[in-house]
Chain A
């Protein structure tokens, strides 16, 4: 303690003058005021977070009763927001079923009916518009997707020198998106469909970066769906309205397919290019296609083992 002049003051020995006190109070008050001013945009926050929503557990940890409560809560919210009495349910995968999709590229005429049927079926945000299916117009003679384009607006499809390549979630058997998720918010179910718990996703978008097929979409803004366009037939892990800030993607219309119906994109296809079914059933059409057509997958070298096959007739 040689140079005691330089010693930093201990607060206990310090006497605070009236003037200093006022000065300090003024600094603290203006600091607090600017902090409040800085945070003022939060006043505009809509749909504040409820406590139940905040503490809601992961899908796989929810008991039957808890799930019923969650569904009741979500249904109420949907009704308040969209005036729709939704048939929201948690549709489980069936035993002995593994879904596989095949697409006949010789038939696809690039009409993009599948894209719009998908948006309507799956309650995707209309503004900003989110689409699960990307249809690439490809010049004949290449499979290099860089030479294709999603932007084509001809008077009539198909165009002579092109073929069309629709790409959506490939429901990989070795999905890179599932591997990278830091919180297990996305996983593969036993029927092969990779699903997302929209109430668990933290929105880091790592899965979006990992997907080699650009199949995942992020809700950058609060999704907007016109009330009269909401599809009330909803699955918890599929097409229920999503919150802002989470990732979504194609789920093979599991709320339909797990109940024996076909995906919306298949029903909308005007040329019958799409074939969907249970690969574990040897009598199914999809089994026939995989056995008898020369099918291939996209980006086989990525090692993702897609459940989505393509072929030319």
Chain B
């Protein structure tokens, strides 16, 4: 028992040490991210002192960039399942070696999500009111309480799966199926649930017709399954180039097909929404009109949504065209999908829900510098965390970080 504990603590210690070691590129990258994180922290401290008045949010548009990023990142976290399903259900070999990078990204994304929600709170000091049994948790009535549950459980699931598999690899032992496969299947369902619940958070508001649409949940999932794998495609290439970890082009092309299908469905669903909003010409279409065409001379979001649409369409066409079987064009399509969907479902979904207000007023929103710095800080923190997770897991997977020989005598070494 104590040996087990000692080995595990020593493992954690080595992981800690290794996350500070690396090449010059690594140090430059980490310093850069740390600097951005600190700038974000500085901006957040200002917000703590002066309140949310340092943001562009108002009583009219009471959620802004923070919740927009939150919504987007829940999708990125859920998208890990697009690697998990091929590997564990269809036994795909190409993705088998890289599935863990998707799960690690899910961990980093969820942590970014939790940070984005926290910075959006007016009273972060009262976060404990949200803890079940200790605070006063309004479950199951409030959709936000559901979100707290599903996000945290999803985080734990992925931490367990990644942590367990990596530690077994470190020990040179074969992982026991019973200790991870049930969790993997649970995580597949759970990934869908986190994004569905996040959609329900908005769908459930009857007073906001722009969000009160049954199609929002499916749209969330489709866009997530396009943007998430697109991000993974880029990450895998960085890993391949910088660490020499073996990743086949076939793995990237399988992801390409996933992004392709998800993007087509995403655009199809968006088209459905646009038809419903514009063809009937009801008063409830005012938000959509504001978003796509501008309302009574207010048109802050119009250039954004049309660039998003252009990016999404270009990405879709590129992905369907054989040209994207070349990595270069695939990468272009991926970048377009990531940015296009970030605009469409971040700012393009959250902000118009508030415009016009329930009393018909139009007050536009634009984020302040401080708010943008906080967002950059959180993204940098997320990337910092993801880099550390990769820095630890790649040597383990390659067999370069494993338990010292002097400890291994009492366990059977798996011959490679």
* A contact set with B: CB distance below 8 Å: 1, 3, 6-11, 31, 34-35, 37-42, 44-45, 49, 54, 58, 61, 128, 134, 136, 144-150, 167, 176, 179-185, 200-206, 208-214, 216-222, 243-247, 299, 302-303
Contacts and interface: CB of A to CB of B under 8 A. Distances in A.
A206 B400 contact: no
Interface in B190-210: 201, 204-208
Contacts of B34: 31
Interface residues of B, number: 71
A8 B204 contact: no
A212 B145 contact: no
B283 interface: yes
Given A148-B360, A209-B63, A221 B51 contact: yes
Contact of A209 (B122, B205, B356, B398): B205
Contact of A212 (B204, B353, B358): B358
Contacts of A61: 136
A203 B206 contact: no
B135 interface: yes
A212 B206 contact: yes
A209 B121 CA distance: 14
Contact of A182 (B53, B130, B358, B404): B130
Nearest to A187: B138
A45 B404 contact: no
B50 A221 contact: yes
B14 A203 contact: no
Given A58-B136, A220-B55, 13 more contacts: A37-B42, A41-B42, A41-B49, A181-B144, A184-B138, A200-B126, A202-B127, A203-B123, A206-B142, A209-B353, A220-B52, A244-B51, A299-B358
Contacts of B144: 180-182, 204, 206
B358 A213 contact: yes
B389 interface: no
A183 B205 contact: no
B129 A183 contact: yes
A209 B353 CA distance: 9
B17 interface: yes
Which residue of B45, B141, B359 has the most chain A CB atoms within 10 A of its CB atom?
Answer: B359
Interface string B108-146: 000000000100111111110110000111100111110
Contacts of A49: 125
A180 B142 contact: yes
B48 A220 contact: no
Given A144-B360, A222-B51, A245-B51, A202 B130 contact: yes
B86 interface: no
B401 interface: yes
A40 B201 CA distance: 36
Given A150-B361, A185-B129, A210 B205 contact: yes
Nearest to A200: B129
A209 B41 contact: no
A34 B40 CA distance: 12
A146 B357 CA distance: 9
Nearest to A244: B51
Contacts of B175: none
A246 B122 contact: yes
Contacts of A150: 359, 361
B225 interface: no
A202 B17 CA distance: 38
24 contacts: A8-B18, A8-B400, A8-B401, A34-B38, A35-B41, A37-B38, A38-B39, A41-B48, A45-B48, A45-B49, A147-B360, A176-B205, A176-B207, A180-B142, A183-B129, A183-B130, A183-B137, A200-B126, A205-B122, A208-B59, A209-B63, A213-B359, A218-B59, A245-B121
A61 B354 CA distance: 35
Interface in B132-164: 135-138, 141-145, 148
Nearest to A56: B126
Contacts of B53: 128, 220-221
Contacts of A218: 52, 59, 62, 122
Contacts of A206: 142, 144, 201
A117 to B, nearest CB: 20
Given A8-B18, A245-B51, A209 B123 contact: no
Shortest 5 CB-CB contacts between residues of A and residues of B? A203-B122, A212-B207, A245-B122, A146-B360, A145-B360
A6 B129 CA distance: 49
A180 B143 contact: yes
B4 interface: no
A183 B138 contact: yes
A128 B117 CA distance: 24
Nearest to A245: B122
Contact of B358 (A42, A211, A221): A211
Contacts of B59: 208, 214, 216-218
Contacts of B48: 41-42, 45
A58 B63 CA distance: 25
Contacts of A220: 51-53, 55, 57-58
Nearest to A144: B283
B196 to A, nearest CB: 17
Contacts of B143: 180
Which residue of B13, B353, B356, B400 has the most chain A CB atoms within 10 A of its CB atom?
Answer: B400
A58 B134 CA distance: 11
A179 B207 contact: no
Contacts of A1: 399, 402, 405
A59 to B, nearest CB: 10
Contacts of A200: 126, 129, 136
B286 interface: yes
Contacts of B14: 8, 10-11
Given A146-B356, A182-B142, A182-B148, A303 B206 contact: yes
B51 to A, nearest CB: 5
Interface in B204-218: 204-208
A185 B144 CA distance: 13
B142 A179 contact: yes
Contacts of A39: 41-42, 45
B294 interface: no
Interface in B10-35: 13-14, 17-18, 21, 34-35
